[in-house]
Amino acid sequence: MKLCKRSICSLIFIDVLPVLLLLLLLLSHVAHCQVVTLGEGSSEEVIIGFSNASMSLDSRNSTVAVLLSGNVNDLGFNYQINAGRLRTEMILNLTTSLFQNVDTPAKTTQIIEYLVTRGFNLIISTSLTQGDSAFNASLIYPDVFFVTRGSGNSTRPNVARITYDVTSADYMSGYFAGTVTKTNRVGIVTPGAALNSLHQANSFAVGAYCAAKVLGKNITVYSVETGSYLNPDVATIAAWNLLAVGADVLSQIQDDMTVSTISMNQGNLGIGTNGFPQRRVFGATVGTSYIIDWSIFFTDAIVRLDTNNWTVGWSYNGGFDNRVLHLDVFSRLVPRSAVQMVQAEELKFKTNTTYRPQNCFAPACDTIFKGNCTDGCISNRQWININKLLPSIVDLGTAFVPLTEVKIASGVQLVFTALGVGFAIACGVLIIAVIVLRNERPIRSASPLFCVIILVGGILVFVGCVIWVSYPTTIVCHLRYWIPSIGYGLIVGNLVVKNFRIYILFKAMKNPRITNLKLLPFSIGITSVHVLLLIIWSTVGNTKSIMDTNDDNIGKYEFVRKCHLTTAGDIIFYAILVIHGLILLVGCFVSFQIRAVDIEEFNESKSIAAFLYAVMFALFIIIPLFVSSTSTFNHIIILCVAFLFTAGSGLAIIFIPKFLMIKRLHKDTKLGIIRRDNISNFDSTESSSSINRDIFSSSTSSINRDIFSSSSSSGSDPFKSDPDFMHLPPSTTNTTTPNV
């Protein structure tokens, strides 16, 4: 018995098992052929195509690349194309190359050039955005074959076109929606007229109307536009707009399922409309999907090329009749009666290649085509070229995500407003001090009139800081440039004019009469140049307040208000900056020329140099910060800090020493009086001379005597006789002899 059992086991493993394995291999081959049959539509066609591909394996000359406009992981349009590519590889036993995210004509051209240099001779572009680049490349590379999206036959011998009957697919989506709707309100989301997609909304509507006619009910169709094929945020708004009017079955001409997803989350049935069986992702909530089998396109093109059967101008128009299009299985949530009704309508497309109910919709002939239809129908091209909605469709317009305005932080606005107002008030106080102390030697030698003008310029700069943090209306935009520019012009321009007066005084061999009236035209001239340039800038610059959504540090659906000017306005504004720079350089030159003047009241070269250093320091820091950021608010903060630092430090450097000098002079005068009262044994002349030596150096005494010899001989004081007569103060000598 044991021997018998062992023999039987040996027989099974040695003789029977190999036979079983062989049978399994044969069944596997048969099953593989059956899969191909399901994909191709008829067994004869599949067997021939499969056989031709097998025969050409050894002599195959096709090197294939497929271009996608998106990513294969979108579980939609691009996913399904890639699935067709992989199925083609399985059917034809070959390897293809895939390139994703080729979403612009420029990228398409670049990829095609790369593929040609790598020896690819069949390039399949699957997006309409790639078509023109592929066609242009076919002219440059006649030995490379191209398959592009589009209807009709190509005139190029190396270009073929593939398309699918999208209007029939949308008709079936509408037919399903009209069959299962409970509210008798359905909706569709399309990219809109700009992308010539309204014929798809019309096809959807005709399908819904035809289903309603069969069921004896009235259906309202709503349409919303998004402006693109892929914008989930806007599509979300569009979906909610449709749900708000009571639509319970929604379709979409989008690359993703955002619209249907939102509807399904509300308990409604969804429709898969991008060629992928969406039930694999969403389950029973998807009523059905229309599926696009791209492998049929790809297999036909490759076999034609490998068998030298590529004819000039061939094309492939996929539809329900050749299995490129077909409806997926239906959800268990769809009533059986509805399934049978929709399947019956699909069967009409499968069995009748001329069945186009959307092209024979009577209201379209009556309204859009004004009765110009043949036997109550129009051609498919005429239907596709319709770029407006049927009158019966309720147009809800274009959906958009509301934008939120972002303003400068209130804390930043408050701080710079307070600083600007505070500095401006400080300048006003200094103006009052200059007027009150105008007869004091440090103020009088610096020309009180020009000191006041310089301080007015400072007020304008600080007010400009307040304006820059204010809300940018068009008027504010103009003031933002006018006020600080004039302010800096008054500061730098009058500082240069004032120092130029000192330069003339010390340059001349005798004391000239330089009055404010003689200097004022120079100040007015500099200011007039600035005003003239600003007027030109306002005229040609087209300065206005605009809404900017590309600013740094703001969200996708946020915007800021900013001031915008044209290129001509930029050029004029740069010219204004150059004028400021030239005036500043002239001031530096004049300050350098009077650097030897050692009368403290007149020598402002050190102050000018310090002011220049402050400006240069600010520029070296501000310009890199300004250029490195595109944030409007950062620019405002940088400019305001520059205004406050340069103008504030400059005015402080110029005026604080003058008031300190006045204080010191008053202190020295009181000290001289105390000494005369308490030390009566000292010679008053020498005491007075000692005080004068403390105030004025011996070197300047000779200069004063040379310059003011004429005025001293006259016996009059020019400071009292001519207030506008600006020159050096006369030296004082006490000739009285106090009692000893």
The length of the chain, given as a count of residues:
740
In this prediction, residue 609 carries a pLDDT of 65
Q: What is the DSSP letter of 709?
A: H
Q: What tokens appear for 552 in the block?
A: 């740094």
User: Do residues 389 and 198 touch, judged by C-beta distance below 8 A?
Assistant: yes
Q: What is the DSSP letter of 664?
A: H
Other Cβ atoms within 10 Å of 309 Cβ, number: 11
In this prediction, residue 174 carries a pLDDT of 98
In this prediction, residue 569 carries a pLDDT of 83
Residue that the structure tokens 């005003």 belong to: 531
- Output 114 or 22, whichever has higher pLDDT: 114
Q: What tokens appear for 207 in the block?
A: 């399908």
pTM for the structure as a whole: 0.64
The average confidence (pLDDT) of the chain is 80
| Residue limits of CATH 1.20.1070.10 in the chain | 405-667
pLDDT band with cut points at 50, 70 and 90 for residue 373? confident
Position 257, amino acid? M
Q: Has residue 453 got a pLDDT over 70?
A: yes
Q: What tokens appear for 591 in the block?
A: 């300050």
In this prediction, residue 659 carries a pLDDT of 87
| Residue limits of CATH 3.40.50.2300 in the chain | 167-289+327-398
150: left (phi over 0), alpha (psi -120 to 50) or beta: left
Range 221-237 average pLDDT = 94
- Output 15 or 673, whichever has higher pLDDT: 673
Among 1.10.1660.10, 1.20.1070.10, 1.20.140.10, 3.40.190.10, name the CATH number for the domain at 405-667: 1.20.1070.10
CA end-to-end span of the chain:
161
Q: Has residue 562 got a pLDDT over 80?
A: yes
Range 193-199 average pLDDT = 89
Q: Give the Cα separation of 209 and 222 in Å (integer).
A: 12
The HSE-up count of residue 280 (CA atoms within 13 Å, CB side) is 9
What are the backbone angles phi and psi of residue 225, rounded to the nearest 5°?
Answer: -105, 150
In this prediction, residue 628 carries a pLDDT of 73
User: Do residues 271 and 251 touch, judged by C-beta distance below 8 A?
Assistant: yes
Other Cβ atoms within 10 Å of 621 Cβ, number: 14
Q: Which CATH class is domain 167-289+327-398?
A: alpha beta
What are the backbone angles phi and psi of residue 551, rounded to the nearest 5°?
Answer: -75, 155
Q: What is the pLDDT of residues 154-165, one digit of tens each?
A: 889 999 999 999
Q: What is the pLDDT of residues 36-87, one digit of tens each?
A: 332 333 333 322 233 233 333 344 568 999 999 988 888 788 999 999 999 9
Secondary structure element (H or E) that encloses residue 304, with its range: helix 294-306
Q: Give the Cα separation of 300 and 84 in Å (integer).
A: 12
Q: 561 forms bridges with which residues in the sheet?
A: 547
Q: What is the pLDDT of residues 316-342, one digit of tens each?
A: 999 999 999 999 999 999 999 999 999
In this prediction, residue 10 carries a pLDDT of 42
Q: Has residue 583 got a pLDDT over 60?
A: yes
Position 162, amino acid? I
- Give the C-alpha distances (Å, rounded to integers) separating 206 from 284, 319, 515, 681: 26, 18, 91, 123
Give the list of residues 6+ apart from residue 643 with CB closer than 8 angstroms, or none: 420, 461, 462, 464, 465, 468, 484
Range 669-679 average pLDDT = 57
User: Do residues 491 and 648 touch, judged by C-beta distance below 8 A?
Assistant: no
Q: What is the pLDDT of residues 291-314, one digit of tens each?
A: 999 999 999 999 999 999 999 889
Q: Has residue 710 got a pLDDT over 80?
A: no
Range 451-465 average pLDDT = 94
